[in-house]
Every structure is written in C-alpha cells, then in structure tokens.
Amino acid sequence: MSWGDDRNGQGPMKSSPQAQIQPCRYKTGKTLGAGSYSVVKECVHIDTGRYYAAKVINKRLMAGREHMVRNEIAVLKRVSMGHRNILTLVDYFETMNNLYLVTDLALGGELFDRICRKGSYYESDAADLMRATLSAVAYLHDHGIVHRDLKPENLLFRTPEDNADLLIADFGLSRIMDEEQFHVLTTTCGTPGYMAPEIFMKTGHGKPVDIWAIGVISYFLLCGYTPFDRDSNLEEMQAILAADFSFEPIEHWRGVSETARSFIRRCLTVDPSKRMTAQEALSHPWISGDARQTDTDLLPVVKKNFNARRTLHAAIDTIRAINQLRAGQGAAMMDGALSKDPTPAAKVPMPQEEEVNAEEAVMDSRGNARGQTEEMIREQERRIRETQVGLWGRTGGGT
Ligand code: ADP
Ligand code: MG
C-alpha cells in the first residue's frame, strides 16, 4: 500500500509519484487551530499557489500512539473524496520530527463559533446542520467506519459563505471496522460529554456511538449546553449511563419543538440496539423536514448559556493545567482532552512553533526514508533540526 496506488491525479499529490525524497512543496503560514496533539496551520503549495490546511503532529507528543495518525490517514484516504461533507486529504508526508496531513482548507471556522457570529438562529438551522452531519455519518457507516469523536469542534465550514458545506474533520479516533471479526471495539476514546454509555460499560461500541454523539450535539445546538454536563467527570459518566438528561430549565427550551426533543431522545437511548441508525435518523421528521419546527430565534439563549459555561470550563481547565505544570507533567497535559467545552478559548494552548522554513526540509512524500545514503540522512537530520529548533518550545527528539 503506497501513496501512489490510489491517487487519481488531483492536486499536488500527482507530483512525481516515483520520487521518494523530495523538497517539501509547501510553505506553512498562520495557525488555524490546535487539538490535543496537533497544530493545524494554513499552508500554500509552492508550485500551484493553492492554499490548504496542514495538520502538524509532533512525533514526540505522539509517542506510542502513531497508530492514531496512521489510522487517520488510512480513513481519510478511503473516504475523503467520496462525500461533500467530509474533509478531503490532499497529501501526506513526514519529516524527522513531525507528521503532516495536508487537507482542504476549511475557511468557515468551527461550527459553534460560526453560530455565535450569526445574527439569528432557528431550529431549522440546527436541523440543517445535523442533516449534513448525519449524511456524512451515514456515508461513513456504509463504508464500515465509525468516527467515534463527533463533537462541535470537529465540524468545520468549508467557506465563510452562509450556505457553506459543513465538513467532518479530525478522523484521529475513527476506526475502520473489520466487519467479519471485530464488531466490538473496546478502547476508551472520545471526549466524555459526547461519549455513549456503552463506551463506559466497555461492552463494545460500534456505529451507534456516533448517533449518540449526534444526539448530544443536537441538544447542544438547541440550548448552548450539553445534556450530561455535571460538576465532575464521575457524575457526568453516571448521568450518561442512565441517559439522565432533561430539557430543562424550561425557559431555555421553550422555543424548541417536540419533534426536536423526540429526535434527541431517539439518539440518546442507552441501549445501542434500540437507538436510531444513521439512516433512521435521516428520515426522522426533525431531519427530513416533515414536521413543524418552531420559528423562535434561539440565538440569545444559546449564546448566553454557551458563554456562561465557556467561562466556567476555561477557568477549570486553567486551574488543572497549572496544577499539572506544577506537578511537572507539562507533556502529559497535552495528551488528553482537558476540556468538555467545545470552544477554542477553553483549550489549553499549544506552545507556538517557530516558523518552519518548509522549503528547507527534505522529506519523503511517502513518509519514510527509503533510498537515502547514511550521509544524506545525517544531512537531512541536521537541516531539519536547524529549521525546527524551538518547535513546541523544544528541539524535539532526533537522537
Ligand atoms: P486534533 O485531532 O488534534 O483534535 P483537529 O483535526 O480537530 O485536530 O484540528 C484542530 C483544530 O484545527 C480544529 O478544531 C479546527 O479549529 C482547526 N482545523 C483543523 N483542520 C482544519 C482545516 N482543514 N481547515 C481549517 N481549520 C482546521
Ligand atoms: Mg479535534
């Protein structure tokens, strides 16, 4: 399985498939976002002048979990061209310290930031967004893929335009299911607030976990807080296990129809076998548009609730981060998702990378160092070290 096999001649991937080592064809620019183990930067292809996003993953931060990245690449390779609501993988390569996933640039920002910037926002808008998400999820499920990490910050808009496509991004936790032998997946994953009961029960989690997450996201999109938000992770987990949620306080739910509530209940059903499938969810009246939705502007309530919790969670995260730094766990801090709050403001910021002169780095477009002489490798290592000193505030591995 090499990169060249399944290319279909689009974009920069076409460039010299037989070349094993080549100068990097991308220049990186401003930072677009940060996840728990990566920084995403704008980048431009030197030859074509086209803009993309490059997810830069420091290998040292990934230590022992390289499989997550390889998995993300494998999943994106399989599905990224096939659905308009799935982020397209354009290229992939690595340097000594970093892995780079080049994808389409999503210029429209994260789902919730965009909603907050709108002038008004109705139940039908939320339903439209969930319809797009569900159609991509149904596509993934039809291809035997469970996303497993659906949450608002992994949903991005392609452009700033009003009618822009919503894209599912971040396939780091996705699993391609081996239909034959591996129905039961038991690794713990995801962000607590969006995790389905069967994940905690360790009874395996397949496609239904994505529908649960769709239910949590829908709830969140209609009121600005998540259904199982509790003071501690333990309480949150207990609430999830019992599907202990309600549409309360009622003043926040007055503008939301019974159809929307029924949709959420059918997603947040504890027994995965009784939960809706993606196809069933697509034909639920709230999504298919067959039922009446309210015409209340939800934005004031959603925004107010969202901002209140963002401030709270940001404060909690800051305190946790400080405590962990004090305990000398700076690196460990980056490992897990600290925040249940889907806002960039609440994320613990990654140390900023010094500008890497991408042209300087010599790399293998297929992601390894075949065909190099010892001397070439040493020289490459030296140049990469030189250009990447200061990355993540340290020089990073490379011995
Ligand atoms: P992680 O796996 O570390 O969570 P993500 O793939 O979710 O990384 O990316 C982290 C953030 O970077 C996203 O939440 C988003 O804000 C931004 N981002 C990711 N991909 C793109 C893209 N293609 N275009 C624009 N911004 C992006
Ligand atoms: Mg993410």
Name the active-site residue from 104, 149, 170, 364.
149
% of the chain with per-residue pLDDT over 70: 68
266 has a pLDDT exceeding 60:
yes
Q: With cut-offs at 50, 70 and 90, classify the pLDDT of residue 204.
A: low
pLDDT in tens, 325-344: 666 654 433 333 333 333 33
More confident residue, 253 or 170: 253
* Partners of 57 in the β-ladder: 99
Q: With cut-offs at 50, 70 and 90, classify the pLDDT of residue 65.
A: confident
14 has a pLDDT exceeding 50:
no
Identity of the highest mean pLDDT range in 118-127, 174-183, 198-207: 118-127
Per the prediction, the chain carries an average pLDDT of 75
pLDDT given at position 170 = 86
Contact at 8 Å (CB) between 50 and 11?
A: yes
Q: Is 40 in the pocket of ligand 1 (CB under 6 A)?
A: yes
367 has a pLDDT exceeding 80:
no
- Annotated binding-site residue numbers: 55
pLDDT given at position 201 = 74
Kindly list the structural domains of the chain, giving each domain's residue range(s) and its CATH number in brackets, ordered by start.
2-103 (3.30.200.20), 111-300 (1.10.510.10), 305-332+339-397 (no CATH)
The three-class DSSP label of residue 139 is helix
35 C-alpha vs ligand 2 centroid, how far in Å? 5
Quote the CA–CA distance of 49 and 40 in Å, as a whole number. 19
In sequence order, which residues have a C-beta less than 8 Å from that of residue 183 and are 6 or more positions away? 177, 204, 206
* Partners of 94 in the β-ladder: 99, 364
pLDDT given at position 21 = 65
What is the sign, positive or negative, of the torsion defined by CA atoms of 203, 206, 207, 212? positive
The CA distances from residue 93 to 47, 269, 310, in Å, are: 17, 41, 36
Q: Is 380 in the pocket of ligand 1 (CB under 6 A)?
A: no
> Which secondary structure element, helix H or strand E, spans residue 306, and what is its range?
helix 299-326
> Range with the lowest mean pLDDT among 87-91, 111-115, 218-222, 356-360?
356-360
364 has a pLDDT exceeding 80:
no
313 has a pLDDT exceeding 80:
no
* Partners of 39 in the β-ladder: 34, 56
33 C-alpha vs ligand 1 centroid, how far in Å? 6
Interior angle at CA 387, CA 384 and CA 389, nearest 5: 95
pLDDT given at position 74 = 85
The CA distances from residue 357 to 49, 100, 177, in Å, are: 16, 14, 39
Mean pLDDT of 293-311: 88
Quote the CA–CA distance of 49 and 38 in Å, as a whole number. 24
Cis peptide before 249 (omega within 30 of 0): yes
pLDDT given at position 19 = 44
pTM above 0.75, yes or no: no
